[in-house]
């Protein structure tokens, strides 16, 4: 990724003349930007932790904070990832009900998970830098009349 050759503790002068922390990394460093949804990387992570079936994945995704996760979107994502070779599924018989499909992460899925983690890590650095800079100038308490 494109990193600026400036230490993360470096500072720059803001538009108001105040010294503020430099924002690192740049937006371009976050390859592809933030995902529109965290469902896909969350599913890859959960499957990286071990094989699971759809309903169980839905419950775990909600516990991760994806409270809006819906079964339809989850199964569409799983099918798309299976077509892409990121996950594999197999039918397993159940002692207490109908057979259910269990999903497993493939090597390609692990590579995709690692790429998602790297992108999210870069995004986290960018967000942290922006919040640090926001805090440095006083954030929402500062208005034009107090400048």
- Tens of pLDDT, residues 97-121: 899 999 999 999 999 999 999 988 9
25 has pLDDT over 60: no
Q: How confident is the model at residue 47 (pLDDT cuts 50, 70, 90)?
A: very high
Looking at every residue in the chain, the average pLDDT score rounds to 79
Q: Is the distance from CB of 75 to CB of 101 less than 8 angstroms?
A: no
- Residues above pLDDT 70, as percent of the chain: 69
Q: In the prediction, which pLDDT does 140 show?
A: 65
Tokens of 12: 């720059």
- Output the pTM of the full model: 0.69
Q: Which CATH number fits domain 11-146: 3.50.50.60, 1.10.8.640, 2.130.10.10, 1.10.10.10?
A: 1.10.10.10
HEC-encoded secondary structure of 124-141: HHHHHHHHHHHHHCCHHH
Token pair, residue 42, equals 């969350």
Helix (H, G, I), strand (E, B), or coil: what is residue 75? Answer: helix
Binning pLDDT at 50, 70 and 90, where does residue 75 land? Answer: very high
Spatial distance between the Cα atoms of 61 and 74, rounded to a whole number of angstroms:
9
User: Which DSSP state fits 36?
Assistant: S
92 vs 107: CA distance, rounded Å? 21
Cis peptide, bond prior to residue 137, ω within 30 of zero: no
The pLDDT of residue 68 is 83
């Amino acid at each position: 990724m494109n990193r600026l050759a400036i230490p993360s503790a470096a500072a720059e002068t803001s538009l108001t003349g105040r010294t503020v922390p430099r924002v690192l990394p740049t937006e371009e460093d976050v390859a592809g930007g933030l995902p529109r949804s965290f469902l896909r990387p969350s599913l890859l992570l959960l499957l990286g932790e071990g094989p699971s079936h759809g309903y169980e994945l839905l419950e775990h995704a909600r516990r991760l904070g994806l409270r809006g996760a819906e079964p339809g979107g989850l199964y569409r994502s799983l099918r798309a990832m299976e077509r892409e070779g990121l996950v594999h599924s197999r039918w397993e018989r159940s002692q207490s009900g109908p057979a259910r499909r269990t999903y497993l992460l493939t090597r390609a899925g692990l590579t995709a998970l690692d790429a998602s983690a790297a992108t999210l890590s870069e995004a986290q650095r960018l967000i942290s830098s922006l919040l640090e800079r926001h805090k440095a100038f006083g954030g929402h308490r500062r208005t034009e009349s107090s400048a």
